[in-house]
Amino acid sequence: MFTGIVTDIGSVVSLTPTARGQLHRLRIACGYDRSTIADGASIACNGICLTVVASGGERGRTWFDVDAAAETLRLTTAKNWVAGTRLNLERALKIGDELGGHLVAGHADGIATIVRREDLPDMARFGLRAPRELARFIAAKGSVTLDGVSLTVNSVDEADFSVLIIPHTLDATTLGGWRADDEVNIEVDLMARYAARLAEMK
């Protein structure tokens, strides 16, 4: 589990697809202490929970390897990552850690598209379009995770919704570089999903 609070910005160093294209081995550089990264650890990369299969250090920076499987490549923006792609990173939640955002599984539900960007004094408002099948889980004042960042939904109009990004988030994540037509990973709120499922069972 995660909280949607980004703790580092990493970058893709290399990407090695398998012969069948069913699995991509990614090497990601980060600022984490290598001694704290164990094989098998979970790290959310742009909101996608990936398992560390190797780690090391090079040129004063830590790196870790993860595998992105076919389902991840189909459902998320990982299929578009190349060397140099910047990623929001978050380590897995530990018991006793502060829950600063909201409970995030790291299982991206799909891809949302940025429809517009409005720059305000020190802030930015983004309008996004969610996949139609996910729209019913998005509510004004509810939570949503975009590229691994826990955000509060400002407004909703069918499949379209908006979020307001404060200065700290623009500086501490990759969101400051978002532009219209960019695609981002979206994970809807777990509570909204379970509530909808319970309503269906009545």
Q: What residues act catalytically?
A: 2, 42, 49, 51, 69, 107, 152
CB neighbour list of residue 71: distance below 8 Å, 6 or more residues apart:
none
Strand ranges in the chain using DSSP code E only, listed in sequence order? 8-17, 23-30, 42-45, 48-58, 61-69, 86-91, 110-120, 123-129, 143-146, 149-157, 160-165, 183-188
CB neighbour list of residue 177: distance below 8 Å, 6 or more residues apart:
86
Q: Which two tokens stand for residue 152?
A: 């509060």
Rounded CA-CA distance 103/1 in Å is 7
Q: Euclidean distance between the first and final Cα of the chain, in Å?
A: 29
Rounded CA-CA distance 76/111 in Å is 6
